Amino acid sequence: MTGPIDMNRVVGTHDIVMITLDTLRYDVAQTAFERGELPVLSRHLPAQGWEKRHTPGNFTYAAHHAFFAGYLPTPARPGAHPRLFATAFRGSETTARSTFVFDEENIPKGLGARGYRTVCIGGVGFFNKQNALGRVFPGMFAESHWHPTLGVGHRHSTERQVDLAVQRLHADAQRVFLFINVSSIHTPNRAHLPGHTEDSLQTHAAALRYVDGALAPLFEACASRGPTFVIVCSDHGTAYGDDGYHGHRLGHECVWTVPYAHFFLGAP
């Protein structure tokens, strides 16, 4: 990424879209980029591909709580790394002049207080609104959506999420903070690679290729509305037998290391 972005100039003048590609591993994402398998996302990534970052949480609930407080994945290199967003917190060493600081407890509430229509399109179970835990994140937004066809294990879930997102973007001209938790890459993802009966790094990569194509209409809709700032990242990775580990909520490198990108769409 090139230099800090002054988010105080972005907030109020741009739509803001945040997409988490749930469980996406950095190594898989970067390999797909280098092989030319991400034609949609690659248009918006730097020449070297995804930025390598460290997640603040090793499973969805922990990571997203940090994200919504402004603690997005941290660049995987030494140094002070100013944040894009921050809840007002005395003594914060990662809040800079370019950081958009708000008094509210999370980004959706902070942007909502500044005139944004806040929209959540859920994916994995922590967004399903079917129990108290599944209502925590949707409850941060003025508008939230979830349906089983948007969730884990549904072959066309990202297409359905994008269709819904495009509808909500076109609902009115008010500035929007749109959040999407993409569930397709999360296990079970074997359906994305015909003939495979087990989840693996190969099916994980196939799910990412599917997601890449499905995102195209969303980016087109964002650009058509006007200037948009987009954040795309993973919340955490997942293990497929790495050093004997499986899944996430554990401290393996493949879980802590995630891909990250941010970019602008539409007129600056």
Give the pLDDT of residue 80: 85
Could you tell me whether strands 239-240 and 51-54 are parallel, antiparallel, or unpaired per DSSP bridges?
unpaired
The β-bridge relationship of strands 228-233 and 51-54 is: unpaired
What is the structure's pLDDT at 1? Answer: 42
Residue position matching structure tokens 């997102």: 165
Cα-only R_g, the chain = 17
d(CA 120, CA 108): 9
Which long-range contacts link 192-198 to residues 24+ away (Cβ below 8 Å)? 192/155
Provide the Cα torsion 235, 241, 247, 253; round to 10°: -40
* Distance, CA of 213 to CA of 37 (rounded, Å): 10
Task: Calculate ∠ Cα 164-136-249, nearest 5°.
Answer: 95
pLDDT of residue 68: 98
Q: Are strands 15-21 and 228-233 parallel, antiparallel or unpaired?
A: parallel
Full-model pTM: 0.96
- Distance separating alpha carbons of residues 121 and 126, to the nearest angstrom: 12
**71, HSE (Cβ side, Cα atoms, 13 Å):** 15
Q: Is the separation of the CB atoms in 159 and 168 below 8 Å? A: no
d(CA 218, CA 19): 11
Q: Is 40 helix (H, G, I), strand (E, B) or coil?
A: helix
Given a cut of 50, the residues of the chain with pLDDT beneath it are 1-2
Classify residue 14 by burial, with Cβ atoms within 10 Å: 0-12, 13-18, 19+: buried
Give the torsion sign (CA, 58, 191, 138, 170).
positive
3-state secondary structure of 121: strand
| Distance from C-alpha of 93 to C-alpha of 104, rounded to nearest angstrom | 19
Nearest to 204, CA basis, from 37, 38, 24: 24
Q: What is the pLDDT of residue 238?
A: 97
Residue 244 has what pLDDT? 93
**Of the candidates 177, 180, 151, the residue with the CA atom closest to the CA atom of residue 229:** 177
pLDDT of residue 268: 65
pLDDT at 92: 86
Q: Burial level of 263, CB count in 10 A (0-12/13-18/19+)?
A: middle
